[in-house]
Amino acid sequence: MLLCTFFWSLTAVNWNGPIVHTGGGSAFITFLSALFPPELSPSFIYVCITATVKTVVFASAAMTIAVPLGLVLGIVASGQIVENNSPSRYYIIITTRLLLGAMRSIHELVWAVLFVAAIGLSPLAAIISLAIPYAGILGRIYSELIQDVPNEPIETLRSAGASPVKLLMYGYIPLALPDLLSYTFYRFECAIRASAILSFIGIQGIGYEIQLSLHDLLFDQVWTLLIFLVVLIVLVDLWSTNLRRRLMD
């Protein structure tokens, strides 16, 4: 179905004729040829490094807010801190899940536009616009990972008289920790990519520099920035994989 829609869009016509850009092929070849070689001047490499650092800082700051907020909301949404026979347990879970759904249902770009309009074009707008939807996503996944913990160790603690808080601290969290960390690092990678995309609205970073280079048709610079972004994601993936292995060992 999607393939048919794609080909239909390529062949669609309006009153002025085909909507396909006839010069797209040559433009694409020009863009590809700019890779050989990319821009490697020391001054531009410095620009790339600075933009990369800013992108990582935005993503790290956003995750610093999103992780604890998502963990707290995820714990509440899992229902594990409320007694099973409590009449308010159901309403607490539903209300928290609705809140998490509302936070993640709005894309970070939309949040960014709203916060830029509210507080201006500043790093704080980028950080908050990333933190809110990512807290919603993390909270949702955290709640499911906590709920999927094996029941036998929890029942052993419960039979020993452990309270819901102690069950959480000594049962649910330790057992779910490897999966919690794994998904958190994955979301950190996503946050770096999202931080680069947010730069297109004017917040400085890799995306901002890519936009400037595209506007000036400096495709060799675009390739250099894309290479920096790919290398950054690969390094984060290697670092997170190594750290997860050490924690699990």
User: What CATH code is carried by the domain that includes residue 94?
Assistant: 1.10.3720.10
Instruction: Using pLDDT thresholds of 50, 70 and 90, give the confidence band for residue 19.
Output: low
Instruction: Using pLDDT thresholds of 50, 70 and 90, give the confidence band for residue 63.
Output: very high
Q: Is residue 59 a part of any domain in this protein?
A: yes
**Is 15 a residue whose pLDDT tops 50?**
no
**Is 202 a residue whose pLDDT tops 70?**
no
* Res 81: pLDDT: 75
Q: Is residue 25 a part of any domain in this protein?
A: no
* Res 68: pLDDT: 95
Average of per-residue pLDDT across 160-164: 76
24-28, 140-144, 157-161 — which is least confidently predicted?
A: 24-28
**Is 72 a residue whose pLDDT tops 90?**
yes
What's the mean per-residue pLDDT of the chain?
81
Q: Is residue 4 a part of any domain in this protein?
A: no
Identity of the amino acid at 238: L
pTM for the model: 0.79
Instruction: Using pLDDT thresholds of 50, 70 and 90, give the confidence band for residue 234.
Output: confident
- 79 vs 46, more confident: 46
Q: Is residue 73 a part of any domain in this protein?
A: yes
Q: What are 20-62's pLDDT values in tens digits?
A: 556 566 766 766 776 678 878 888 899 999 988 888 888 899 9
* Res 10: pLDDT: 45
Q: Is residue 236 a part of any domain in this protein?
A: yes
* Res 89: pLDDT: 77
Average of per-residue pLDDT across 132-150: 91
**Is 8 a residue whose pLDDT tops 50?**
no
Q: Is residue 28 a part of any domain in this protein?
A: no
- Whole-angstrom distance, CA of residue 164 vs CA of residue 79: 10
| Domain total in the chain | 1
Identity of the amino acid at 155: E
Instruction: Using pLDDT thresholds of 50, 70 and 90, give the confidence band for residue 90.
Output: confident
Q: Is residue 1 a part of any domain in this protein?
A: no
Provide CB contacts within 8 A for 158, sequence distance 6+.
Answer: 167
Q: Is residue 168 a part of any domain in this protein?
A: yes
Domain that holds residue 165: 43-248
